[in-house]
Chain A
Amino acid sequence: MMQFGESAPPSPPLIHLNGQALRLDLTSPEAPLHRPRPWPGFPISPKSLGSFNTASCMEQLLVHCANAIEANDATLAQQLIWVLHNIAPPDGDSNQRLTAAFLHALIARASKTGSCKMLAVAAARADADLALHTHRFSAVDLVTFVDLTPWHRFGYSAANAAIAEAVEGFPVIHIVDLSTTHCMQIPTLIDLLAGRPEGPPILRLTIPSPTATTTMPPPILDLSYDELGAKLVNFARSKNVAMEFRVIPSNPCDAFDTLIEQLRVQQLVSDGGEALIVNCQMMLHYIPDETAGAISSTMSMTSSMSLRSAFLKLLRSVEPTLVTLVDEDADFTAGDVVGRLRSAFNYLWIPYDAVDTFLPKGSEQREWYEAGVRWKIENVIAHEGLQRVERLESKGRWVQRMRAAGFRGVGFSEEAVGEVKGMLEEHSAGWGLKREEEDFVLTWKGHNVVFATAWVPS
């Protein structure tokens, strides 16, 4: 724990903390400047706070701030917010922007709790520039967006390779695409299937469409699914692939019950000539897990099974040919906000760092990307209950779940490895592919980012 000692004689309120042994020392020996600063009006340039400008320092400050908010300590919280606001301008470097996003989320959280409301109002003014402008993507813009980094394309390539292999010999292929990126994977899949030796298949694509009340993460599409589907069908036609596009209103917060029901009915009358592929790209973590159930009082848990486990079991019951499960490798399910903050901070620095390497400041695309990350941060920090939809679980946990639901992991072929590696080559050098047993993991400078797995009923 960081110890801060106050050396200036006129002790600012900082040292008088309610029940907290924490003292904020802005003039620690290590700091380049050792002059007393009257609190709080004294203008302090970010430079003098340079000693704070490290990731771990910022993380600590954020943690303290979160604790203060949870403890309803408005004074301390305000102080910490002030410091954080100064050391982490929203237009700073990637670390600073990351911290600013967390700060914004903490303030949003504070605004919902008791005595911190006033504080939030005051601080919110300062944070107006961080307001989330949710960009609505046209189809073409979304294509550019998903290709900015391998974050999404990694999962697409791995899944496509696995799918192409699994559907060999099937004339009809039914893809159920549970993805947050609105079918961006599908064109390359169509292209892959169109060129297969036994000829293009008949392709059926089913996607869920969230109903109006559901909170869905960015990216948000600017066109309807019907329009999107029309383009896909048209594209498929150009590749001689017969395609059917179907939209089923269904929500992750309901574990896609309506969609699963459709699948079950269809499978009852299926004759086995159709391959059923369920392609999950970063979507399953939006299905409430046990922690969501514990928090919400309205959810009735039958036999202590969460919606997430129930979904997987139902998925198993429709006997899919292949399930591809791609998701972000982090754990955001801690019950306390501080735990979640730590996990999120130590994971979400990655997208900030990655876009920093190749997109300049002020780039619109970078703004989209970071807005997406800010959405995630705000959701995991500021929301609770069913509104908190970003319930990421680590790869190990997902593997456990799939096995418990009756699936067996299958690996990826060497071709898939080649595909993914080739794709990564085209991006910044910091991206890598790690193989853990039979799974793929996308790494950024060695840290796990996204995992890709493939499953068949066992």
Chain B
Amino acid sequence: MPVELENSSVMTFSNSGSGEASVSSGQQQAPPPPPAPAKKKRNLPGMPDPDAEVIALSPKTLMATNRFVCEICNKGFQRDQNLQLHRRGHNLPWKLRQRTGKEARKRVYVCPEPSCVHHDPSRALGDLTGIKKHFCRKHGEKKWKCDKCSKKYAVQSDWKAHSKTCGTREYRCDCGTLFSRRDSFITHRAFCDALAEESAKSQTNNTAASAPAAPENQKAEDDGKAAPAPASPAPEKSPPPAVMPGAGSSRQLVAPPEQQREPENHPAGMLQYMPSAPPPPPSSITIGSNNSSSTTSSSGGSSSGSSTSLFASLFASASATTAAQSTTFSDLIGAMSRTDRSLAVEAPSLCLSGNGPASLFSQPPQERRPFLAPPPPPSPHMSATALLQKAAQMGVAATSSSSFLRGFGLATSAGHPEGINDGGFHWRPQQQQLEPEPTPILSAGLGLGLPYDTAAAAAAAGLPDLMMGPPPLFGPKPATLDFLGLGMGPVGGAATGGLSALITSIGGGGLDMGSGAAAAASAGRFGGGSSPGKAWEGAERKPNSPAIL
């Protein structure tokens, strides 16, 4: 029985402890032996054991696939054992070699190619297959070619492994680059200009109801967020389209300037984005700023616009966060809006964005008005929205501030952030509890350090002051005016002395502040479930979130 080792002109060397291995090339090298790992794994490649036997096979031997040939039929086998078993078939004498006590003598293999880094015993590889593959890969010809792409491989198993994954999982960035790995794709996407362009594009596409859906579709390809979904349900669920035409103009006025302002609002060293509400609630779904703009617009974009401006100062953030503000809050609350579609349906009054609540919109003469499309969950929003709605419906002058605050407080406490998914349900009862009371909202908002702080403070006492409050604030910021219904844009018209207008504006302002306060509060006290009142008060005292500061 041929002893393979001898026939293959192998030279065996042992690495002694001091590493005085004499390699076939005759170098007197004593590379420091790698420290034996404490926990030795078997066949650890490239980590030769100092006691291991270094084996140098010739290239021919290494590349030979069938070294053991049957003398009868000339059939070749890779392993001697296989040949022996085959010999049985010829009724030839056969003998399976017993495993010798080889545990103690681990073998490591060096590459026969002298210029190769693994030719050195200190860089030997631990198993025969490993060195064979290495030799073949590095020094052999690449005989295996992938059919789908043009990659070539010298080792068949590499080729097989590649063919399995080639083309099966592909991620394509908008810029055209293809990726086979998701993490590379995600990282690339984050920094690729295609994303920035897309955001810019979708912003300008706000007015088109369907437009937002398209970019969103592309954007959310791999994150399972129903980016397209929100857009599509929107038409079916609520009349955003119906609303939009009306609000369209105002939106156009409001949104783009807001969007464009985003990039400028970078306080030195600090960038912020408070995302808009998560997709689901059709009307209030906002995926990224784009959607937010679109959805809020659909719901009455001006509100988003105004809220943006209001919050811009608050959060020092540049972004379509406008609508985002309110949605941010919901985000903060943890309303994972994806499930909020039902919410939207359930709480029509909340979803100003016109889910179903045709009634909501129809009630106030200024239906397109800037109802902030509150993301479903945030109860403060809810209360604010509900408040506004009630005010509009009833045309009631603001009742005592205390009641409002109380109502709001109730709402907020009820609307615990954690219960996002239940937010909708919470809203309803809260709605009933709340008495439209814009005044307190304003004062609370004041606590947040809003510009109309002083005015609002004064306004706490009574409506007349409130009336004074908002205008100055909104003067410089058209969007705000819009939101407050002070009629900065085409929507809402100038706030006349009408009580309903006042209330609406106050409510709008309250909404803003409510959402802002809530957002700020939630940012700082997520999961704390603190009452909104407290949150507001706290907000002025202490920077719960960087946004506030």
Contact = CB atoms under 8 A, between A and B. Distances in A.
B271 A245 contact: yes
A238 B27 contact: no
B524 A191 contact: no
B271 A57 contact: no
Contacts of B122: 55-56
Report the contact-size class of chain B (Cβ under 8 Å from the partner). Answer: 35 or more
Contact of B332 (A55, A139, A143, A202): A202
Interface string B19-56: 00001011111111010000101001111000000000
B266 A226 contact: yes
Given A157-B183, A242-B332, A447-B47, A54 B119 contact: yes
A74 to B, nearest CB: 27
Contact of A240 (B196, B269, B331, B547): B331
Contact of A242 (B116, B119, B266, B273): B273
A187 B191 contact: yes
Contacts of B183: 147, 153, 156-157, 188, 423
Contacts of A447: 34, 46-47
Interface stretch (B390-398, B426-434, B538-546): B538-546
A230 B120 contact: no
A198 B117 contact: no
Interface string A327-349: 00000000000000000001001
Contact of A187 (B117, B123, B180, B189): B189
A170 B526 CA distance: 8
A4 to B, nearest CB: 10
B269 A246 contact: yes
Contacts of B119: 54
A21 interface: no
Contacts of A147: 181, 183-184, 187
Contact of A172 (B180, B263, B272, B526): B526
Contact of A202 (B116, B191, B545): B545
Nearest to A157: B183
A202 B546 CA distance: 11
A143 B269 contact: no
Contacts of A184: 187
Interface string A213-233: 000000000000010111111
A169 interface: yes
A364 interface: no
B14 interface: no
Contacts of B526: 170-172, 202, 273
Interface string B245-282: 00000000000000000010010011111111011000
Contacts of B44: 446
A444 B46 contact: yes
A188 B266 contact: no
B501 interface: no
A202 B273 CA distance: 9
A29 interface: yes
Interface of B: 23, 25-32, 34, 39, 41, 44-47, 114-117, 119-120, 122-123, 125-126, 133, 137-138, 158, 180-181, 183-184, 186-193, 195-196, 199, 219-220, 223-225, 263, 266, 269-276, 278-279, 287-289, 319, 324, 328, 331-332, 334-336, 417, 420, 522-528, 542-547
In order of increasing CB-CB distance, the 6 nearest A-B pairs are A171-B526, A445-B46, A30-B26, A187-B190, A446-B47, A139-B191
13 contacts: A56-B27, A93-B115, A95-B117, A147-B181, A190-B190, A199-B278, A199-B336, A237-B289, A240-B276, A242-B523, A273-B526, A426-B180, A445-B45
